[in-house]
Homo-oligomer: A and B are copies of this chain.
Amino acid sequence: MRISEQIFPRVVALVVTISKENKPNVMTASFLMPVSFEPKFIAFAISPQRYSFKNLQEVGEFTVNICKSEMKEQAIICGSLSGKDKNKFELAKLEVENSKKVKPPVVKNSPISFECKVEFMKEFGDHFLIVGRVVEEHIREKEFKPLLHKSGSSYLLL
């Protein structure tokens, strides 16, 4: 039984990173959790095979953009294609805006976005654990229905 089918459902977020040449990329993440209330810290896990991983190593900044229920198609696109050869922002029709304190942009479609600086990264098994310090947040909607993930293409709602 896959661990994603054992510990579920999980909040879905679009994680935006940027290369040292200033090319942003976006990926879907659901191995993600809050770590600390004050100051805010967020942890997520990423496979080192993901194109975004290199960005995190090069530019230690990312944004976490929470998905609401309406963003299921965008989560699927950003979770199943690689940014290596596609512009997922265009394919998923994501609107971005400049962050205030980090280089990667935030996603305007999201109800809540966090700007984060990488505080820590370490390999555990087939993923790297990334811990980010939240340096800015964007609250566009306080009431929203979160998109949730189980495994593969199985998404759930409350």
A contact set with B: CB distance below 8 Å: 1-4, 6-11, 13, 31-45, 66, 112, 114, 119-120, 122, 124-127, 129, 131, 133-134, 137, 139, 142, 146, 148, 156-158
Contacts and interface: CB of A to CB of B under 8 A. Distances in A.
Contacts of A125: 35-41, 133
Nearest to A39: B125
A111 to B, nearest CB: 9
A40 B3 contact: yes
A156 B134 CA distance: 26
A150 to B, nearest CB: 10
Oligomer copy total = 2
Contact of A33 (B31, B37, B66, B157): B31
12 contacts: A2-B37, A3-B40, A6-B114, A7-B33, A7-B34, A7-B66, A10-B33, A33-B45, A35-B125, A35-B129, A36-B125, A40-B125
A124 B119 contact: yes
Nearest to A134: B3
A41 B38 CA distance: 26
Contacts of A42: 3, 7
Nearest to A122: B120
